Structure 1
Amino acid sequence: MALPEQKAAARRPGGRSARVLAAVQRAAEELICERGADKVSIPAIAARAGVNPTSVYRRWGDVHQLLTSVAEARLTPDTMPPDTGSLREDLEEWAELLLAHIGAPEGAASLRTVVNDVADGEVRDRCLRRRADQVDLILEHARSRGEDVPTTERVMDHVLAPLHFRVLFGVGDTDGAYARALVGELLS
């Protein structure tokens, strides 16, 4: 016979904390997209998420901490970069995934939140480090296959930076073909 705790765990994968965290993150992202980060408050986020504001204050302290936490989570997903067997294909797939991620309204809003928050360089630095770690892994795979590889810095400067710039400033024609072209220019 299952204990009540086991039944609850079976009904709630990840538990209540995971559901509250996901609801708060989703609510914050939606409100940032609708209103802009400067017009978002913890009571508004809590109401949208269907949780008590005290729960949100207890976990994050203030709206600044909450918004940077949400932005960092959005910008540093725990996904493994592709390993297709070819550096060009790995970088093309990675660039397209990156663009899809940051180009979505929530991703672009998160990117603006981190960039605008110059006071918290730690969040920005962690986001950049996670992207550099993904590039390092792609390059290590290619190196182990005997391919010539550029430096991580060159990939960041020639692929990641232009994509972020174009998303931040809303430059049109920033699509998968553009992302692949950046990789082609890098490797030519």
Structure 2
Amino acid sequence: MVTLTSGKSGPRPGGRSARVQAAVHAAVNELQRESGRAALTVPMVAARAGVTPSTIYRRWGDLADLLADVAVERMRPDMEPPDTGSLAGDLQAWSEQYLDEMSSDVGRAMVRDVLAGTGQMDGQPVPCRCFEFTAAQIDVILARARQRGEPGLPTVDALMDGIVAPVIYRLLFAPAPPDLAWLRDRLHDGVAGRR
């Protein structure tokens, strides 16, 4: 399991450290469901998790970094993208699911939490972990297309720039989230462009 740190030496892997992380993450998720994100405080989370507030401050630094850590863990894919038999089909199925998840209230809150975190995970800024998760999913899709012998494939970067980046930008700054018609236009441009 990945652990967020604020520049301090990281906790021991496994054992008590893993149990504390799991308890704190569970407490954050439960309290968010019960009271909403705005009501969360470090003492509330600590009390629910059965740890002291100093444990949370020592490990995560502050509430923003804790929420970023929880959000990154929730954003971690738990399965491979669907295999429809073609690059176009795989990208459409994956990106529609991605848009649906990220445009939900929970998805947008997770993106905001990740962006608010100032800590590091595995020596990288927190948002870089989300980038890696998404790029890895696209890489799986492209690897399948290569195995099928599909010609003129786009790169991971071209699809990240042509599909994922505009989705996230519009989710954060547009008055309404993008819809499926908009996404399908982006997909057509991303696949047809074959950059």
Q: Structure 2 length normalisation: TM-score?
A: 0.71
Shift of the 32–64 alpha-carbon distance from structure 1 to 2, 3 Å rule, reads farther
Q: Which is richer in helix?
A: 1
Contact 2:86 2:145 in 1 (8 A): yes
Contact residue 71 and residue 110 of structure 2 kept, 8 A: yes
Provide the C-alpha distance between the structure 2 equivalents of 1:103 and 1:33, rounded to a whole number of angstroms.
18
**Aligned-pair RMSD on alpha carbons?**
3.0
Partners of 1:33 and 1:166 in 2: how far apart?
A: 24
State the match for 2:4 in structure 1: none
1:23-79 per-position Cα deviation (integer Å, ceiling 9, x unaligned): 3242364489652xxx741223456xx443528936955424421211111222222
Instruction: Give the superposition deviation at 1:97.
Output: 1.2
Q: For 2:97, give the aligned amino acid.
A: L
Which aligned runs of 4 or more in structure 1 are off by greater than 6 angstroms? 16-19
C-alpha offsets along residues 102-125 of structure 1, whole Å, 9 cap, x if unaligned? 112121111112223355453211
- 1:28–1:162 Cα change, 3 Å: farther
Q: 1:62-73 counterparts in 2 under 5 A?
A: 62=61, 63-73=63-73
Alignment coverage as a number of residue pairs: 168
Query: How far apart, CA to CA, are the structure 2 residues paired with 1:135 and 1:20?
Result: 32
Residue pairs, 1:36-115, within 5 angstroms = 40-46=40-46, 50-54=48-52, 57=55, 60-62=59-61, 63-115=63-115
CA 1:105–1:170: 2 relative to 1, 3 Å: farther
- Secondary structure (helix, strand or coil) at the match of 1:82 reads coil
Q: Could you give the per-residue CA deviations for residues 102-152 of structure 1, whole angstroms, max 9, x where no partner exists? A: 112121111112223355453211111111111111001011111131010
Query: What is the percentage of aligned positions where both structures have the same residue?
Result: 33
Q: What does 1:124-163 correspond to in 2, within 5 Å?
A: 124-148=127-151, 149-163=153-167
For 1:166, the equivalent position in structure 2 comes to 170
Q: Which runs of 5+ in 2 are unaligned?
A: 1-18
Query: What residue number does 1:13 align with?
Result: none
